[in-house]
Chains A and B, each alone.
Chain A
Amino acid sequence: MASYSRYHIPSSPAPNIAPHPRRFRVRVNRVQLARLILAELVHYRGNLPVVLSRPCVYGVFSGPIGGFAPRPHRCVGCLRCTVQYPEIVQIIPNPGRMRLGDSYFTPDIVDTVLYEAATGRVPVRGAGYRGSFGGEGWDAMWTDMSEIVRPTRDGIHGREFISTSVDLGPRPDFLTFDSSGKPAGEALRLISLPVPFIFDAPPLSAESANLYRALVASADGIQSLAVVPLRRALDQGLTSASVVPLVRASEVAALSDLTPQPPLNGKGAQRAFRMIELDGWNEAAYRALQQSYPESLICVRLPFEEEVTPLLRQGVRLFHLTADYHGRAGKAFILEAIRSAHERLVAEGLREQTTLIGSGGIVAAEHAPKAIICGLDAVALDASLLIAVQGRFRGECLDRASAQVEMPSFEVAWAAQRLMNLAASWRDQMLEILGGMGLREVRRLRGELGRAMFQAELEREAFAGIEGYA
């Protein structure tokens, strides 16, 4: 008898293995410190507990020789010490940390992703928001909330259920039945994923057997998908059910060399990739894949700038649209590109039949629900996966071909756990967003622009009429 089990991503601590620049430097003027101690020895008449009491509970000054050899890795930047003794100690932001990531994947986002990957937790901190008021791209967008609807927090903490499942694949607008009342037409071939994200193939410079194994193992672990270039899947013998072979038109024939996965339905011996991704549009290749792999979903991977309408007319219903790692899609940012693609499908009357997966520039937990609100069904994670396993960007990390990423040496199990932790944290944060809105399932979020607020529109509404505002 089938038993119900609630979806859960197994997270467990997976600390950093490569050195990571600490947040602060602690500079102590040792002469002044010695003077202070001498003065206090006199003032407090040698009362050592009082003299040696220091203003830090984090242990920065609690080494064998106290403040003479501070331990900056323990500093949390509260600044109590420097406020109290400005002439003795200075806390300085570590310039080494500013070199993390790149101009888009900022050091703050790097820190956050590393925390998420190491712990699987939702980052929770005190004090209010510290950053820019709004800005560009995702920062110019806020999600809505509702004052009085369910399931909200009960759902976040699991007492009620908020679904993060999404379906990939073509869907008819309506069911048809034959004269005997039985369903007619093609059977539904949907893939249901319990999370609205899949893992995209990493940049060429980051590729390694271990990275691909970790990506596939973690995709298996969260019951999602990992896009793997065909030659890599062949080299590594990656045959898991989560593998999505990324195939160029010239490689269609070679796909048959990939070790068949277990059949989806458990019967027969037919190959059954759950999904195959065709890299770029080629009608002949698309038809060949459809014919050779009738049980698999065929997804077409295209840059956002390319027009999808002609492909819709040729029957394509599953797209992976890509921007670069900074979210640039031609002249547009991915946010506008998603909206535009979504609205085009709506205008064509084909939105419900079509699945849009998107990637590029989705590097923080909040970007995923925002991208879904703009019109994606699911997102493919890319650069954030590299950061999660402590990859270091060398220069600007822009796309698969050109990005230079230095990867640490790691074991597959560690990296797989880091990626699962990241997925767990992002899913939980998605629940926070959905809970805030009172939505029970992420599928309802797709294209729900009424659940979004954009800075330009809010500002126009609030400030129109104020001198200087145009």
Chain B
Amino acid sequence: MSKTPEVLIVEKHTEALHRGFHRWPEMGFAPPALGDRRWTPELILSTWVQAETGALPTGDLEYRTGHSGGGFDRLDFKFLLESEWLPPDTPIDTSLSLNRRPYDPRIKIPVPWYGAGMSYGSVSEQVMLARAMAAKQWNTFTSTGEGGYPDSLIPYQDHVITQIATGMFGVREETVQRARIVEFKYAQGAKPGLGGHLLGDKATVAVAKMREAVPWVSLFSPFPFHSVYSVEDHRKHVDWAKTIAPDALVAVKVSTPTDVDMVAVGSYYAGAHILQIDGSYGGTGAAPEIAKKNIAMPIEYAIPKVHRYLLGEGIRDEIVVMASGGIRTAYDVAKAIALGADGCILGTTELVALGCTRCSNCERGRGCLFGLTTTDPELSQLVDPAWGAERISNLYASMQSQLREVLRRLGLRSARELRGRTDLLVYRKSDQS
């Protein structure tokens, strides 16, 4: 049977796009309008290479840092002399245990990262599916974000975190019950203190149905949880989740205010297993521009603050600290761990692996012409979930191998040994790339 024009159109553009993702890194120059100071053109192209091949670029494309002039881009590692590196065949453990409490199920992931919450509505179902498939392949996790739990994710439920955010969109008893990890989103780095934004353009009929909202009406999540005004209220939330899903671990996602260290301690005493601190330079489907740069601190400053405070309180080894909001590369992951995080949470990086050019049009209904941050039925067909899963999986493979190489050159046998080792870092007066 011959294919319809609609099918042929999708095939034509998908093939051309995939060709483009392959060709650009080899062309010797980047698209002139690509990238920005945080995600430089080279960083985007080298991520495309890793997503395609599972390995680093063979040329001299920069793959470690950007040009932001601060934070991770100013930090480097003090590698040992080559003669002191661990032998190449040394087994190096990159795994991370997500439960440090003496109770509740043990969950271990083979890499110190998992996927960030990106809601149905902010991204397409195909993208969610691709991320879930990759999470399953790697025995790690991805998060639903706050837009509900599409049925297509159920086969991957052991690797999908159910997020409960302030809008409670699509949160149902069964979606909480099926999760091994339940994540409370108190705040988001890109718009701290402001709640989620889904502009009317993206609240399609399907999205609105999932969120039990009115189609084509902008959805602004409240802030904060109107049931939480204290650590005690926070504890009540955790108890509520544990009542519904007794075996689930509880993650808490917060932003990075001045008192992020106190917030961390509060989350610990409320019973959280995982604390996600989301720095101010993180990704978003839509946020006021004023919030992205100006509210709350970048993750590079928040990690050591939280780590040291938890150490001082004697509870550091009872809670897992995950850093997010501006983690782009394996080197960023390693630096975040050296600053004091246990692991990282990746969002934008995964989208770049799927072809994101960081054009910042994600807030519009048909803004993302790569089919990523859209629920437009036509555009979202550009991402085949199996293809997407392969790209993310390849990126993970490359990142894991880079992390192992960093550890090997530092003489460490596990990522756990790197945690809080700021003595292995060096601060440069100019960007590293």
Q: Is the CB of B295 within 8 A of A147?
A: no
> Is B406 part of the contact surface with A, judged by Cβ < 8 Å?
no
Give the CA-CA distance A354 to B283 in the complex, in Å.
42
Q: Can you give 29 A-B contacts (C-beta < 8 A)?
A: A53-B13, A56-B369, A57-B366, A77-B361, A82-B20, A84-B17, A86-B20, A86-B31, A90-B31, A92-B33, A125-B286, A126-B286, A129-B293, A130-B37, A132-B68, A133-B37, A133-B70, A135-B69, A144-B258, A147-B257, A150-B229, A153-B193, A366-B294, A451-B258, A462-B300, A462-B339, A466-B425, A467-B427, A468-B427
Give the CA-CA distance A314 to B293 in the complex, in Å.
42
Report A146-183 residues with CB < 8 Å from chain B CB.
146-150, 152-154, 156-157
Closest chain A residue, CB of each to CB of B285: A126
Closest chain A residue, CB of each to CB of B231: A148
> Is B170 part of the contact surface with A, judged by Cβ < 8 Å?
no
- Give 3 nearest A-B pairs by CB, closest first: A126-B362, A133-B70, A436-B193
Q: Which chain A residues border B422 with CB–CB below 8 Å?
A: 463, 465-466
Among A42-50, A206-214, A277-285, A303-311, the stretch in contact with B: A42-50
Q: Is the CB of A432 within 8 A of B194?
A: yes
Give the CA-CA distance A84 to B369 in the complex, in Å.
11
Contacts A57-B369, A124-B289, A453-B297 aside, 19 further interface pairs with beta carbons under 8 A come to A77-B359, A84-B17, A86-B20, A93-B33, A122-B290, A123-B290, A125-B361, A126-B284, A128-B325, A133-B71, A133-B298, A134-B298, A145-B295, A148-B230, A152-B224, A153-B195, A450-B258, A453-B258, A468-B427
Q: Is the CB of B224 within 8 A of A148?
A: yes
Q: Is the CB of B288 within 8 A of A429?
A: yes
Closest chain B residue, CB of each to CB of A364: B290
Q: Is the CB of A84 within 8 A of B13?
A: yes
Q: Is the CB of A148 within 8 A of B258?
A: no
Q: Shortest distance in angstroms between B365's beta carbon and chain A's nearest beta carbon?
A: 10
Give the CA-CA distance A463 to B340 in the complex, in Å.
12
* Pick from A145, A365, A468: contact of B192, CB under 8 Å: A145
Q: Is the CB of A459 within 8 A of B360?
A: no
Q: Shortest distance in angstroms between A160's beta carbon and chain B's nearest beta carbon?
A: 11
Q: Is the CB of A124 within 8 A of B197?
A: yes
Q: Shortest distance in angstroms between A165's beta carbon and chain B's nearest beta carbon?
A: 20
Closest chain B residue, CB of each to CB of A112: B289
Contact with A along B246-258 (1 / 0, CB 8 A): 0000000011011
Q: Which chain A residues border B106 with CB–CB below 8 Å?
A: none
* Pick from A84, A129, A146, A148: contact of B16, CB under 8 Å: A84
Q: Is the CB of A49 within 8 A of B9?
A: yes
Chain B residues at the A interface, C-beta cutoff of 8 Å: 5, 8-9, 12-13, 16-17, 19-21, 23-24, 27, 31-34, 36-39, 68-71, 73-75, 78, 186-187, 189-190, 192-195, 197, 199, 220-225, 228-230, 233-234, 254-255, 257-258, 263, 280-298, 300-301, 303-305, 325-326, 339, 348, 355-364, 366-370, 373, 379, 422-423, 425-429
* Pick from B5, B70, B224, B255: contact of A47, CB under 8 Å: B5
Contacts A145-B295, A148-B229, A152-B193 given; indicate if A126 touches B257 (C-beta within 8 A). Answer: no
Q: Shortest distance in angstroms between B327's beta carbon and chain A's nearest beta carbon?
A: 11
Q: Which chain B residues border A98 with CB–CB below 8 Å?
A: none
Give the CA-CA distance A132 to B70 in the complex, in Å.
8
Count contacts between A and B, CB distance < 8 Å: 289
Q: Is the CB of B301 within 8 A of A432?
A: no
Contacts A145-B296, A147-B254, A152-B224 given; indicate if A83 touches B17 (C-beta within 8 A). Answer: yes
Contacts A129-B293, A145-B257 given; indicate if A435 touches B288 (C-beta within 8 A). Answer: no
Give the CA-CA distance A135 to B37 in the complex, in Å.
13
Give the CA-CA distance A139 to B423 in the complex, in Å.
28
Give the CA-CA distance A61 to B195 in the complex, in Å.
37
Give the CA-CA distance A262 to B195 in the complex, in Å.
46
Contact with B along A283-301 (1 / 0, CB 8 A): 0000000000000000000
> Is A85 part of the contact surface with B, judged by Cβ < 8 Å?
yes
* Pick from B224, B294, B367, B370: contact of A149, CB under 8 Å: B224
Q: Which chain B residues border A143 with CB–CB below 8 Å?
A: 294-296
Contacts A78-B357, A453-B297 given; indicate if A153 touches B221 (C-beta within 8 A). Answer: yes
Q: Is the CB of B23 within 8 A of A467?
A: no
Which one of A79, A150, A450, A459 has the greatest number of beta carbons of chain B within 10 Å? A79
Q: Is the CB of B32 within 8 A of A128?
A: no
Q: Which chain A residues border B280 with CB–CB below 8 Å?
A: 129, 142
Closest chain A residue, CB of each to CB of B166: A153
Q: Which chain A residues border B428 with CB–CB below 8 Å?
A: 468
Closest chain A residue, CB of each to CB of B258: A144
Q: Shortest distance in angstroms between A414's beta carbon and chain B's nearest beta carbon?
A: 25
Q: Shortest distance in angstroms between B155's beta carbon and chain A's nearest beta carbon?
A: 29
Q: Is the CB of A128 within 8 A of B37?
A: no
Closest chain B residue, CB of each to CB of A57: B366
Q: Is the CB of B8 within 8 A of A76?
A: no
Q: Is the CB of A146 within 8 A of B297?
A: no
Q: Which chain B residues border A130 with CB–CB below 8 Å?
A: 36-39, 358, 360
Give the CA-CA distance A462 to B368 in the complex, in Å.
37
Q: Is the CB of A49 within 8 A of B5?
A: yes
Closest chain B residue, CB of each to CB of A126: B362
Give the CA-CA distance A326 to B298 in the complex, in Å.
26
Closest chain A residue, CB of each to CB of B378: A57
Q: Shortest distance in angstroms between B235's beta carbon and chain A's nearest beta carbon?
A: 12
Q: Is the CB of B186 within 8 A of A128?
A: no
Give the CA-CA distance A292 to B229 in the complex, in Å.
54
* Pick from A124, A150, A466, A468: contact of B429, CB under 8 Å: A468
> Is A415 part of the contact surface with B, judged by Cβ < 8 Å?
no
Q: Is the CB of B24 within 8 A of A156?
A: no
Give the CA-CA distance A49 to B13 in the complex, in Å.
13
Closest chain B residue, CB of each to CB of A48: B5
Per the CB 8 Å criterion, the residue count for chain A at the interface is 79
Q: Is the CB of B8 within 8 A of A44?
A: yes
Q: Is the CB of A365 within 8 A of B427?
A: no
Give the CA-CA distance A83 to B21 in the complex, in Å.
7
* Pick from B194, B255, B295, B429: contact of A156, CB under 8 Å: B194
* Pick from B32, B75, B290, B367: contact of A466, CB under 8 Å: B75
Give the CA-CA distance A112 to B292 in the complex, in Å.
14
Give the CA-CA distance A93 to B360 in the complex, in Å.
15
Give the CA-CA distance A91 to B32 in the complex, in Å.
7
Closest chain A residue, CB of each to CB of B72: A133
Report A78-110 residues with CB < 8 Å from chain B CB.
78-80, 82-86, 90-93
Q: Is the CB of B12 within 8 A of A50?
A: yes
> Is A202 part of the contact surface with B, judged by Cβ < 8 Å?
no
> Is A254 part of the contact surface with B, judged by Cβ < 8 Å?
no
> Is A423 part of the contact surface with B, judged by Cβ < 8 Å?
no
Q: Which chain B residues border A92 with CB–CB below 8 Å?
A: 32-33
Which one of B19, B287, B288 has the greatest number of beta carbons of chain A within 10 Å? B288
Give the CA-CA distance A459 to B297 in the complex, in Å.
10
Give the CA-CA distance A124 to B339 in the complex, in Å.
32
Q: Which chain A residues border B187 with CB–CB below 8 Å?
A: 145, 147
Give the CA-CA distance A453 to B39 in the complex, in Å.
24
Closest chain A residue, CB of each to CB of B39: A130
Contacts A132-B70, A435-B223 given; indicate if A55 touches B193 (C-beta within 8 A). Answer: no
Give the CA-CA distance A145 to B258 in the complex, in Å.
8
> Is A433 part of the contact surface with B, judged by Cβ < 8 Å?
yes
Q: Which chain A residues border B282 with CB–CB below 8 Å?
A: 128
Q: Which chain A residues border B370 with CB–CB below 8 Å?
A: 78, 80, 83
Q: Which chain A residues border B192 with CB–CB below 8 Å?
A: 145, 436
Give the CA-CA distance A122 to B74 in the complex, in Å.
32
> Is A131 part of the contact surface with B, judged by Cβ < 8 Å?
yes
Closest chain B residue, CB of each to CB of A129: B292
Give the CA-CA distance A135 to B71 in the complex, in Å.
11
Q: Which chain A residues border B285 with CB–CB below 8 Å?
A: 126
Closest chain B residue, CB of each to CB of A460: B301
Give the CA-CA distance A157 to B189 in the complex, in Å.
20
Contacts A49-B9, A153-B220, A365-B290 given; indicate if A146 touches B193 (C-beta within 8 A). Answer: yes
Give the CA-CA distance A84 to B379 in the complex, in Å.
14
Q: Which chain A residues border B24 with CB–CB below 8 Å?
A: 83, 86
Q: Is the CB of A142 within 8 A of B289?
A: no
Contacts A77-B359, A133-B73, A466-B422 given; indicate if A55 touches B369 (C-beta within 8 A). Answer: yes
